[in-house]
Structure 1
Amino acid sequence: MPKPNQQLIATKLKLSRATVSRCFTNHPGINPQTRAKVFALASKLGYSPLEKAKPRAHAERLKLLDVAVLICVDLPNFDNTAYGNPGEEILTGVTEFARTKKISLDLHYVKPEDLSLDSPSYRRITPMRRRRWKGVLFIYPFPQTVMDELMAKYPCVSLVEQYGTTGLDCVDVDHFRGVNKLMDRLLAHGHQRIGFFTHHYDVEASWALRRHSAYMEKLFSLGMPYNPDDALNIGQHNKLDYDATHQRALELTRKGVTAWLCASDYEAYQLVEFFKKNGLSVPRDVSVTGFDGIRKPAGAPLLSTVQVPYREIGVTGVKRLSDLINRRFDSTQHILLDCALREGETIAAPRNSAL
């Protein structure tokens, strides 16, 4: 593979070499989405403009505020664009604010299975680059051990994920408002037995737990029964693999669950496809909702869901980190942004007859 440079990035993204160069110098004429794509590919290729700068450019760069953006994900999953790419939308917001405030971004992908800064994906980040960092943004779930190490060294802000056991600042969607909007739609259609669906993840998916908590709170507030058997992959002793989770949802649907509130759109679209393969039509036989607002895959029905404001989360997150860098011991904040209901084609009134 050719040695990574700006021309290689330009060729792969079908951009001009000048456009790529301007992305790294925070040029005001560059579209934030283009800048996010360039930064993401540069990280994947192992290219760093910080280490290639000429003396004059290096002097100019010293005037910038250097911020690390760490994305904890397996790259094949990040690049899976069949369902859209929320991570890239977050990066668009991050780069948009960074350009206006003279913030230089140092972006890296790290592996979920790496549990310390001595692990392989973190060792690739040279000490020289780490010394420049003034703060760190987390995107996606991180192991607690890694967060603890980085929080001891830098101001940190988490985007999308919340970690209730630490003093970590966070910018996230308001899970409770989002779930309430979805539950209200299902209840308005007459659903009384609504299940909660999520998968088991190697790194704890706190977003799924919060959405489940909101689901429980809604049921309790209305005096409706909560059946733990109808909540899949919640709790330490209720862990099913991918296939078993879908099979269990099918069994429960045939036993009376009329709607499934899925913790994410990705999970919801997969569940809709599984039901279809097993003879159930959505929403005629069972209703399904998601949570995210990502692009629907080809051939799938438009999902009833809520739209997470990913770009705004990126903008707000880097702004909060900038404030923390200037006020190192400011009070910890959790900033929750509202989400809009997106009407789709996967909710209908429950059928009266047994399936």
Structure 2
Amino acid sequence: MTDRPRNPTIIDVARQAGVSKSVVSRVVSGRGSVGEETRQRVVRAAQELGYVVNASARAMVAHRTYTVGAFVRDAATPFYGHLLTAMQERAAGHGYRVVTATGSGRFEVSDEYRALETLAMLRVEALIVCSGLLPSERILPFAERLPTVVAGRPETHPSITSVYCDEDEGGAALADHLLGLGHREVAVVTVSMRDSVTLGPRTAAMVRRLHERGARVLEIPGAHRETAGAWAVEALRHPGITAVMAPSDRHAVALLEQLRLRGVDVPGDLSVTGYDGIGDLATPLIGLTHWRQPIDVIGSRAVDAVVQLLDGERPPDHHQALPGTLVVGRTTGPPVGWDCCSSSRTGRSSEASY
């Protein structure tokens, strides 16, 4: 039986390049001074031999793991899946690996807390938390032990660094869009802060802006997409309602399905908005009007921030609230009977109090 060929070592690279082992070590680690010609010779030798840096050996020598732990609430959803991909790519550029723990999207707070404990036991050097459920007080014990960044949700605790899309801006911008089209009676599918610290603030911002500008608002509690049929029934029960604002694209698509089953034309009878602008649901084929989050930037900056914390630096922006973009699709339009010249609606209106 033929022996398996062994992997080349740093000694093999040194012999091939005609330099000492310490020179190869300096080139591989990026630390110390090495002439450019010598560095190129070492790189060529490593490529010819197929030498790959042994991460475990590197960690033992440096007494470090070069590993970041990331908890992602539900990697199966477009938002968290894209966020995780962006973080992994950025971490690799910094020379770090990402070890991930994921939930099913139905984890309780206690389950998410245990997942963070598991990551910490794996000797990760830092943590990135991506969850709209886990409250600040349950993250704080980890932030006191390890550099910790919260990504993808509003977080303003002074001891926790965060990167997220500005939910207030997004919710208000979507409301302004509908008001600009002439909608004056709008239903908002709301989510409580207890159920989500991402969906909660954005739906609250929608309601707040609509009220500020004199619109009548029907609030329909709706954290779970499975109840989309009930949202449709409630909105249609009020004939004055001309638009429905959903807390996410996934919620919006669930609502669109229920409206179609009931023969409701969108946007002819009702306009519908979503939120996120990520993955397949953002396709022009659906044409959903939504607020697009800069998910790649959120993931990249979260990793940048955690690396800065590992280097003993404080990120320039402790809490980074990033701007999003309004994407106008075909699910919104002026209400039937809207006279843009007189800024009034000529069709029927409901006198009901919401």
TM-score, shorter chain, exceeding 0.5: yes
Q: 1:275 aligns with which of 249, 252, 259?
A: 259
**C-alpha distance 300-200 of structure 1, shift in aligned 2 (>3 A):** farther
| Uncovered stretches (5+) of structure 2, i.e. residues with no partner | 1-51, 338-346, 350-354
Aligned to 1:192: 184
User: Does structure 2 conserve the Cα–Cα contact (< 8 Å) formed by 1:199 and 1:267?
Assistant: no
TM-score, normalized by length of structure 1?
Answer: 0.69
Contact 1:198-1:267 within 8 A present in 2 as well: no
Q: Distance in 2 between matches of 1:57 and 1:165?
A: 34
**Is the CA contact (8 Å cut-off) linking 2:140 and 2:160 kept in structure 1?**
no
SS in 2 for 1:288: strand
Provide structure 1 residue ranges, at least 5 long, that are not aligned to the other structure.
1-53, 234-238
Q: CA deviation at 1:172?
A: 0.6
1:108 aligns with 2:101: yes
C-alpha separation in 1, matches of 2:288 and 2:66: 41
With normalisation by structure 2, the TM-score equals 0.69
Considering only CA atoms, is the larger Rg found in Structure 1 or Structure 2? Answer: 2
Pick the aligned partner of 1:266 from 227, 245, 250. 250
1:231 aligns with 2:233: no
> How many aligned positions are there?
282
Q: 1:276 to 1:100 in 2, by over 3 A?
A: same
Instruction: Note the 1:197-216 alignment, pairs <5 A.
Output: 197-198=189-190, 204-216=195-207
**Quick check: 1:67–1:106 contact (8 Å CA) kept in 2?**
yes
Higher relative contact order (CA 8 A, sep 6+): 1
Q: Taking structure 1 as reference, are residues 336 and 298 closer, same or farther at Cα in structure 2, changes over 3 Å only?
A: closer
1:1-355 to 2 correspondence within 5 Å?
56-62=54-60, 65-73=66-74, 78-79=75-76, 85-110=78-103, 112-113=107-108, 115=110, 119=114, 121=115, 125=119, 127=121, 129=122, 131=123, 133-144=124-135, 146-164=138-156, 167-198=159-190, 204-222=195-213, 224-225=214-215, 227=217, 230-233=218-221, 246-255=229-238, 256-294=240-278, 295-296=280-281, 301-327=286-312, 333-352=318-337, 353-354=347-348
The 3 A distance-change label for structure 1 pair 167 and 246 is farther
Contact 1:117 1:149 in 2 (8 A): no
**CA distance change for structure 1 residues 317 and 274 in 2, over 3 Å: closer, same or farther?**
same
RMSD: 3.3
Q: Whole-Å Cα distance in 2 between the matches of residues 65 and 101 of structure 1?
A: 9
Q: Is the 8 A contact 2:308 2:314 kept in 1?
A: no
Percent of residue pairs identical: 21
Q: Higher mean Cα deviation, 166-175 or 320-329?
A: 320-329
> Aligned equivalents of 2:325 and 2:191: distance in 1?
24
